[in-house]
């Protein structure tokens, strides 16, 4: 069984983050290991994020990478500037096929710290990635485009993001994309792949992005080509949203076991 690493935050409600990744890996018959970067809790409908010290993150990575033959990994929420720099330095020491889910929880340029974080993400992490999987909002921040409202915009954004050094780009249009279809796009070896499905009017979407990138990571580890991995990830997440778990009246999570049913 292939060992697969996730470097991400913890979602205390288990909808996204490390928990979504590990559940996805288990469903797809790869053995998941994890390095925790932060702990997220929802208190009074607000997300409270507690960052893990960079030295502790590196201890986790050393423990994993020194003992296991890791070839495939993904990143999610990495936290603060110190953490992302440390993680990039550690990843660069190993030949990993890296899937980057560039979880961005701020508006570009809102503070100098956030601007610096985005710059490090572009300059240090993206060049290490085999594929990066932003949603529309993240794609705007990474590409610098003010609006992504058409397929031509999506392709333009992917080309701009690819210039930072990532080999391939997936942009998840999802329910944010105008129209009746959830549209995702893969730019792979300078070829265009479009994936479309009907939008689902349900709020069981927590963890959709984490699950999507985790599926791609697992499928790559199992020897599947990237286009087939993205296609399967879209089907997997679509089922997970359609049969998702309701947490309360406002929040629901993807169910990673749904595609088997």
Q: Which residues, listed in sequence order, are joined to residue 4 by a DSSP beta bridge?
A: 32, 72
Distances in Å between the Cα of 12 and the Cα atoms of 20, 40, 42, 67 are 11, 6, 8, 28
Average pLDDT, the chain: 93
Q: Give which of 36, 88, 35 is closest to 64, Cα–Cα.
A: 35
Residue 107: band (very low, low, confident or very high) from pLDDT cuts 50, 70, 90: very low
**pLDDT at 104 (0 to 100):** 84
Q: How far apart are CA 20 and CA 95, in angstroms?
A: 25
**What are the distances in angstroms from CA 240 to CA 36, 148, 161?**
24, 26, 28
Residues 6+ apart with CB under 8 A from 179: none
In the chain, beta strands by DSSP E:
3-11, 31-43, 46-51, 72-75, 97-100, 131-132, 168-172, 181-188, 191-198, 245-246, 252-253
Question: Which tokens in the block code for residue 62?
Answer: 């050393």
Q: Is the pLDDT of residue 59 over 90?
A: yes
Tell how far CA 24 is from the center of its chain: 13
pLDDT at 42: 79
- pTM (2 d.p.): 0.96
Instruction: Tell which phi-psi region holds residue 102, choosing left (phi > 0), alpha (psi between -120 and 50) or beta.
Output: beta
41 pLDDT exceeds 90?
A: no
Q: Render pLDDT for 120-140 as a digit per residue (tens, 0 to 9).
A: 999 999 999 999 999 999 999
Condensed to tens digits (0 to 9), the pLDDT of residues 156-190 reads 999 999 999 999 999 999 888 999 999 999 999 99
The pLDDT assigned to 105 comes to: 63
Q: Are strands 31-43 and 3-11 parallel, antiparallel or unpaired?
A: parallel
The C-alpha atoms of residue 242 and residue 224 are separated, in whole angstroms, by 25
Alpha-carbon dihedral angle through residues 80, 137, 216, 170, given to the nearest 10 degrees: -120
């Amino acid at each position: 069984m292939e060992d697969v690493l996730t470097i991400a935050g913890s979602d205390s409600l288990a909808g996204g983050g490390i928990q979504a990744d590990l559940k996805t890996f288990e469903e797809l018959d790869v053995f998941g290991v994890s390095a925790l970067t932060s702990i997220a809790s929802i208190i009074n409908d607000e997300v409270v994020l507690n960052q893990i010290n960079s030295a502790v993150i590196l201890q986790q990575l050393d423990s994993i990478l020194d003992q296991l033959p890791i070839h495939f990994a993904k990143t999610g929420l990495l936290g603060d500037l110190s953490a992302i720099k440390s993680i990039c330095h550690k990843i660069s020491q190993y030949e990993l096929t890296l899937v980057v889910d560039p979880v961005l929880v701020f508006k570009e340029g809102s503070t100098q710290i956030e601007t610096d974080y985005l710059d490090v993400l572009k300059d240090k992490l993206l060049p290490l990635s085999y594929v990066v999987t932003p949603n529309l909002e993240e794609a705007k921040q990474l590409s610098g485009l003010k609006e992504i409202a058409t397929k031509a915009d999506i392709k333009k954004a992917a080309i701009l993001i690819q210039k930072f050094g990532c080999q391939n780009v997936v942009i998840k249009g999802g329910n944010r994309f105008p129209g009746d279809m959830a549209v995702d796009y893969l730019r792979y070896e300078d070829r265009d792949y479009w994936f479309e499905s009907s939008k689902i009017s349900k709020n069981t979407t927590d963890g959709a992005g984490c699950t999507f990138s985790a599926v791609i990571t697992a499928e790559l580890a199992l020897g599947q080509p990237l286009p087939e991995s993205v296609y399967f990830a879209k089907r997997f997440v679509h089922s997970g949203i359609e049969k998702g778990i309701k947490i309360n009246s406002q929040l629901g999570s993807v169910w990673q076991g749904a595609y088997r049913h």
